[in-house]
Chains A and B, each alone.
Chain A
Amino acid sequence: MTQDEVKKIVLDIIADIAPDEDLSQLKPDVRLRDQMQLDSMDFLDIVMELRKRHGIEVPEADYLKLATLDSCGEYLAPKFTALAAKG
Chain B
Amino acid sequence: MSLPRIVITGVGLTSPNGNSLAEYRGNLLAGVARISRTEIRYMGPLLAGVCTFDPLRYQKKKELRVGTRAGSIGIYCAREALADAGLTAEHLVKDRTGVFVGITEHGNVETENEIYAISKFGYDTKFWSHYHNPRTVANNPAGEISLSLGTTGPAYTIGAACAAGNMGLIHATQLLRLGEVDFAVCGGVSESIHTFGIYAGFKSQNALAHHEDPNRASRPFDKGRNGIVISEGGALYTLERLDDALRRGAKIYAEIAGYCVNSDASDYVLPNPTRQAECVRTALQRAAMSPADVHIVSTHATATPMGDIQECEAIRAVFGEGCPETWVNNTKSFIGHAMGAAGALELAGNLPSFSDLVVHPTINVDDLDPQCALPGLVLNQPRKVARVDTILNNSFGMLGINSTLIVRRYVG
Total chain A interface residues with beta-carbon distance under 8 A: 10
The answer to whether A41 touches B62 (Cβ under 8 A) is no
A29 at the interface (CB under 8 A from B): no
Total chain B interface residues with beta-carbon distance under 8 A: 11
15 more contacts with CB within 8 A, not counting A20-B61, A48-B129, A51-B127, are A17-B62, A17-B65, A19-B60, A19-B61, A19-B62, A19-B65, A20-B62, A41-B130, A41-B131, A44-B130, A45-B130, A48-B127, A51-B126, A52-B121, A52-B127
Chain B residues with CB under 8 A of A51: 126-127
A1 at the interface (CB under 8 A from B): no
Interface of B is mostly: helix
User: How far is it, in angstroms, between the C-alpha of A41 and the C-alpha of B130 when the chains are bound?
Assistant: 7
Query: Which of A1-47 touch B at CB < 8 Å?
Result: 17-20, 41, 44-45
B residues with CB within 8 A of A? 60-62, 65-66, 121, 126-127, 129-131
Interface of A is mostly: helix
Q: How far is the CB of A43 from chain B (nearest CB, A)?
A: 10
Q: Which 5 A/B pairs are nearest by Cβ-Cβ distance? A: A19-B61, A20-B60, A44-B130, A20-B61, A20-B62
Chain A residues with CB under 8 A of B65: 17, 19
* Chain A residue with Cβ nearest B117: A52
- The 7 listed contacts between A and B (C-beta, < 8 Å) are A18-B62, A19-B65, A20-B61, A41-B131, A45-B130, A48-B129, A52-B127
Q: How far is the CB of B67 from chain A (nearest CB, A)?
A: 12
User: How far is it, in angstroms, between the C-alpha of A45 and the C-alpha of B66 when the chains are bound?
Assistant: 10
Chain A residues with CB under 8 A of B126: 51
Q: How far is the CB of A20 from chain B (nearest CB, A)?
A: 5
User: How far is it, in angstroms, between the C-alpha of A19 and the C-alpha of B65 when the chains are bound?
Assistant: 9
User: How far is it, in angstroms, between the C-alpha of A48 and the C-alpha of B66 when the chains are bound?
Assistant: 14
Q: How far is the CB of A48 from chain B (nearest CB, A)?
A: 7
User: How far is it, in angstroms, between the C-alpha of A36 and the C-alpha of B127 when the chains are bound?
Assistant: 26
Chain A residues with CB under 8 A of B130: 41, 44-45, 48
User: How far is it, in angstroms, between the C-alpha of A44 and the C-alpha of B131 when the chains are bound?
Assistant: 10
Q: How far is the CB of A59 from chain B (nearest CB, A)?
A: 12
